[in-house]
Amino acid sequence: MMSLFKRLSTTLFSRIDQVVGEIENHEAVVQATLSEMRKKIAEAKVRLGQVHREKERLEQQEQEQQENTRRWQQRAIECAETNEEKALECVSRSHFCEKKIAKLRQAINQYAQAADKLGQDVEASEQRLIEMKQKLTLMRARQSTSSAVSATSEMNNKVENQLDETFERWEINISQTEMIVDHSAPTDLLERDFLNKEKDDDLRQELTQLLAREEQK
Protein backbone atom coordinates (compact mmCIF):
# COMPACT_ATOMS: atom_id res chain seq x y z
CA MET A 1 0.00 0.00 0.00
CA MET A 2 1.27 3.47 -0.82
CA SER A 3 2.67 4.97 2.36
CA LEU A 4 0.45 7.44 4.17
CA PHE A 5 2.76 10.43 3.80
CA LYS A 6 2.96 9.90 0.01
CA ARG A 7 -0.82 9.85 -0.27
CA LEU A 8 -1.13 12.98 1.82
CA SER A 9 1.55 14.71 -0.20
CA THR A 10 -0.26 13.82 -3.42
CA THR A 11 -3.46 15.32 -2.02
CA LEU A 12 -1.68 18.48 -0.96
CA PHE A 13 0.05 19.13 -4.27
CA SER A 14 -2.98 18.16 -6.36
CA ARG A 15 -5.15 20.71 -4.57
CA ILE A 16 -2.54 23.40 -4.92
CA ASP A 17 -2.28 22.60 -8.63
CA GLN A 18 -6.03 23.08 -9.08
CA VAL A 19 -6.04 26.59 -7.71
CA VAL A 20 -2.63 27.98 -8.70
CA GLY A 21 -3.23 30.86 -11.10
CA GLU A 22 -7.01 30.75 -10.52
CA ILE A 23 -7.29 32.37 -7.11
CA GLU A 24 -5.06 34.74 -5.22
CA ASN A 25 -5.41 33.35 -1.70
CA HIS A 26 -3.06 30.39 -2.14
CA GLU A 27 -2.19 30.41 1.55
CA ALA A 28 -5.81 29.64 2.46
CA VAL A 29 -5.76 26.61 0.18
CA VAL A 30 -2.53 25.33 1.69
CA GLN A 31 -3.85 25.90 5.21
CA ALA A 32 -7.02 23.96 4.42
CA THR A 33 -5.02 21.07 2.97
CA LEU A 34 -2.65 21.00 5.93
CA SER A 35 -5.70 20.85 8.17
CA GLU A 36 -6.90 17.81 6.23
CA MET A 37 -3.48 16.23 6.53
CA ARG A 38 -3.64 16.63 10.31
CA LYS A 39 -7.09 15.02 10.30
CA LYS A 40 -5.87 12.06 8.23
CA ILE A 41 -2.89 11.56 10.53
CA ALA A 42 -5.23 11.59 13.54
CA GLU A 43 -7.42 8.98 11.84
CA ALA A 44 -4.36 6.84 11.11
CA LYS A 45 -3.38 7.00 14.79
CA VAL A 46 -6.86 5.80 15.74
CA ARG A 47 -6.55 2.88 13.31
CA LEU A 48 -3.11 2.11 14.71
CA GLY A 49 -4.62 1.93 18.19
CA GLN A 50 -7.29 -0.43 16.89
CA VAL A 51 -4.66 -2.68 15.35
CA HIS A 52 -2.73 -2.78 18.64
CA ARG A 53 -5.90 -3.61 20.59
CA GLU A 54 -6.85 -6.40 18.18
CA LYS A 55 -3.32 -7.81 18.41
CA GLU A 56 -3.56 -7.78 22.21
CA ARG A 57 -6.95 -9.54 22.02
CA LEU A 58 -5.47 -12.28 19.83
CA GLU A 59 -2.50 -12.64 22.18
CA GLN A 60 -4.95 -13.12 25.06
CA GLN A 61 -6.74 -15.82 23.06
CA GLU A 62 -3.42 -17.50 22.39
CA GLN A 63 -2.65 -17.60 26.11
CA GLU A 64 -6.08 -19.09 26.80
CA GLN A 65 -5.54 -21.81 24.19
CA GLN A 66 -2.12 -22.61 25.63
CA GLU A 67 -3.76 -23.07 29.02
CA ASN A 68 -6.46 -25.23 27.43
CA THR A 69 -3.77 -27.40 25.83
CA ARG A 70 -2.08 -27.98 29.19
CA ARG A 71 -5.46 -28.67 30.81
CA TRP A 72 -6.44 -31.34 28.26
CA GLN A 73 -3.02 -32.99 28.52
CA GLN A 74 -3.36 -33.15 32.30
CA ARG A 75 -6.83 -34.65 31.95
CA ALA A 76 -5.43 -37.27 29.58
CA ILE A 77 -2.89 -38.27 32.21
CA GLU A 78 -5.53 -38.47 34.92
CA CYS A 79 -7.88 -40.61 32.81
CA ALA A 80 -5.24 -42.92 31.33
CA GLU A 81 -5.45 -45.63 34.00
CA THR A 82 -9.25 -45.78 34.29
CA ASN A 83 -10.58 -44.82 30.86
CA GLU A 84 -8.24 -45.02 27.87
CA GLU A 85 -10.94 -43.89 25.42
CA LYS A 86 -11.54 -40.71 27.38
CA ALA A 87 -7.79 -40.16 27.74
CA LEU A 88 -7.31 -40.44 23.98
CA GLU A 89 -10.12 -37.93 23.42
CA CYS A 90 -8.38 -35.54 25.82
CA VAL A 91 -5.17 -35.85 23.78
CA SER A 92 -7.18 -35.17 20.63
CA ARG A 93 -8.67 -32.06 22.22
CA SER A 94 -5.20 -30.83 23.08
CA HIS A 95 -4.28 -31.17 19.39
CA PHE A 96 -7.28 -29.06 18.43
CA CYS A 97 -6.12 -26.34 20.82
CA GLU A 98 -2.63 -26.44 19.35
CA LYS A 99 -4.06 -25.89 15.86
CA LYS A 100 -5.93 -22.85 17.15
CA ILE A 101 -2.69 -21.54 18.64
CA ALA A 102 -0.92 -21.87 15.29
CA LYS A 103 -3.64 -19.87 13.50
CA LEU A 104 -3.66 -17.24 16.22
CA ARG A 105 0.11 -16.81 16.01
CA GLN A 106 -0.15 -16.33 12.26
CA ALA A 107 -2.79 -13.62 12.74
CA ILE A 108 -0.74 -11.98 15.51
CA ASN A 109 2.28 -11.79 13.23
CA GLN A 110 0.17 -10.16 10.51
CA TYR A 111 -1.18 -7.58 12.94
CA ALA A 112 2.32 -6.92 14.26
CA GLN A 113 3.60 -6.26 10.75
CA ALA A 114 0.61 -4.04 9.97
CA ALA A 115 1.13 -2.07 13.19
CA ASP A 116 4.82 -1.59 12.44
CA LYS A 117 4.11 -0.39 8.89
CA LEU A 118 1.30 1.94 9.94
CA GLY A 119 3.42 3.31 12.77
CA GLN A 120 6.21 4.13 10.33
CA ASP A 121 3.71 5.79 7.98
CA VAL A 122 2.28 7.93 10.77
CA GLU A 123 5.76 9.04 11.82
CA ALA A 124 6.71 9.84 8.22
CA SER A 125 3.45 11.72 7.70
CA GLU A 126 4.01 13.85 10.77
CA GLN A 127 7.49 14.69 9.54
CA ARG A 128 6.04 15.54 6.14
CA LEU A 129 3.50 17.83 7.81
CA ILE A 130 6.30 19.68 9.59
CA GLU A 131 8.09 20.10 6.27
CA MET A 132 4.92 21.47 4.68
CA LYS A 133 4.49 23.99 7.50
CA GLN A 134 8.06 25.14 6.98
CA LYS A 135 7.43 25.45 3.27
CA LEU A 136 4.31 27.49 3.96
CA THR A 137 6.40 29.93 5.98
CA LEU A 138 8.82 30.26 3.08
CA MET A 139 5.97 30.76 0.60
CA ARG A 140 4.52 33.51 2.74
CA ALA A 141 7.84 35.32 2.54
CA ARG A 142 8.25 34.86 -1.20
CA GLN A 143 4.60 35.20 -2.19
CA SER A 144 5.31 32.98 -5.17
CA THR A 145 3.68 29.84 -6.54
CA SER A 146 6.58 28.72 -8.71
CA SER A 147 7.92 26.11 -6.28
CA ALA A 148 4.44 24.61 -5.80
CA VAL A 149 3.91 24.31 -9.56
CA SER A 150 7.33 22.65 -9.94
CA ALA A 151 6.59 20.15 -7.19
CA THR A 152 3.18 19.20 -8.55
CA SER A 153 4.59 18.67 -12.03
CA GLU A 154 6.62 15.72 -10.80
CA MET A 155 3.92 14.44 -8.49
CA ASN A 156 1.18 14.43 -11.15
CA ASN A 157 3.26 12.17 -13.42
CA LYS A 158 3.20 9.51 -10.70
CA VAL A 159 -0.41 9.79 -9.52
CA GLU A 160 -1.91 7.21 -11.92
CA ASN A 161 0.76 4.58 -11.21
CA GLN A 162 0.50 5.23 -7.48
CA LEU A 163 -3.27 4.64 -7.54
CA ASP A 164 -2.83 1.29 -9.34
CA GLU A 165 -0.14 0.33 -6.84
CA THR A 166 -2.39 1.30 -3.94
CA PHE A 167 -5.27 -0.90 -5.09
CA GLU A 168 -2.95 -3.84 -5.84
CA ARG A 169 -1.24 -3.77 -2.46
CA TRP A 170 -4.54 -3.21 -0.68
CA GLU A 171 -5.94 -6.37 -2.29
CA ILE A 172 -2.83 -8.34 -1.32
CA ASN A 173 -3.06 -7.19 2.32
CA ILE A 174 -6.74 -8.14 2.50
CA SER A 175 -6.04 -11.57 1.00
CA GLN A 176 -3.30 -12.23 3.55
CA THR A 177 -5.66 -11.65 6.49
CA GLU A 178 -8.56 -13.75 5.20
CA MET A 179 -9.24 -17.07 6.83
CA ILE A 180 -7.92 -20.10 4.95
CA VAL A 181 -10.31 -23.02 5.04
CA ASP A 182 -8.90 -26.46 4.34
CA HIS A 183 -11.12 -28.76 2.35
CA SER A 184 -10.28 -32.40 2.94
CA ALA A 185 -10.69 -34.84 0.06
CA PRO A 186 -13.27 -37.63 0.65
CA THR A 187 -11.94 -41.09 1.44
CA ASP A 188 -13.49 -44.53 1.05
CA LEU A 189 -14.53 -46.64 4.05
CA LEU A 190 -11.47 -48.89 4.00
CA GLU A 191 -9.07 -45.96 3.89
CA ARG A 192 -11.05 -44.23 6.66
CA ASP A 193 -10.66 -47.33 8.87
CA PHE A 194 -6.90 -47.29 8.37
CA LEU A 195 -6.74 -43.54 8.99
CA ASN A 196 -8.74 -43.84 12.22
CA LYS A 197 -6.53 -46.70 13.46
CA GLU A 198 -3.38 -44.73 12.62
CA LYS A 199 -4.80 -41.72 14.42
CA ASP A 200 -5.61 -43.81 17.51
CA ASP A 201 -2.11 -45.29 17.44
CA ASP A 202 -0.61 -41.82 17.32
CA LEU A 203 -2.81 -40.69 20.21
CA ARG A 204 -1.86 -43.76 22.27
CA GLN A 205 1.80 -43.07 21.60
CA GLU A 206 1.45 -39.47 22.75
CA LEU A 207 -0.52 -40.59 25.80
CA THR A 208 2.28 -43.03 26.66
CA GLN A 209 4.80 -40.20 26.37
CA LEU A 210 2.69 -37.96 28.61
CA LEU A 211 2.46 -40.71 31.23
CA ALA A 212 6.19 -41.32 31.02
CA ARG A 213 6.94 -37.64 31.58
CA GLU A 214 4.50 -37.60 34.50
CA GLU A 215 6.25 -40.55 36.16
CA GLN A 216 9.62 -38.81 35.81
CA LYS A 217 8.38 -35.77 37.77
Residue 181 lies in a domain: no
Residue 185 lies in a domain: no
- State the pLDDT at residue 146: 60
Residue 179 clears pLDDT 50, i.e. is over it: no
Per-residue model confidence as pLDDT tens digits over 122-138: 999 899 888 888 888 88
Domain with 156 in it = 4-176+190-216
Total structural domains in the chain?
1
Residue 201 lies in a domain: yes
HEC-encoded secondary structure of the chain: CCCHHHHHHHHHHHHHHHHCCCCCCHHHHHHHHHHHHHHHHHHHHHHHHHHHHHHHHHHHHHHHHHHHHHHHHHHHHHHCCCCHHHHHHHHHHHHHHHHHHHHHHHHHHHHHHHHHHHHHHHHHHHHHHHHHHHHHHHHHHHCCCHHHHHHHHHHHHHHHHHHHHHHHHHHHHHHHHCCCCCCCCCCCHHHHHHHHHHHHHHHHHHHHHHHHHHHHC
pTM value?
Answer: 0.54
Residue 11 lies in a domain: yes
Residue 14 lies in a domain: yes
Residue 212 lies in a domain: yes
Residue 182 lies in a domain: no
Residue 24 clears pLDDT 80, i.e. is over it: no
Higher pLDDT, residue 82 or 15: 82
- State the pLDDT at residue 1: 43
Residue 183 lies in a domain: no
Of 67, 69, 61, 51, residue with least CA distance to 105: 61
CB atoms within 10 A of CB 76: 25
- State the pLDDT at residue 154: 60
Angle at 169 between CA 165 and CA 171, to 5 degrees: 120
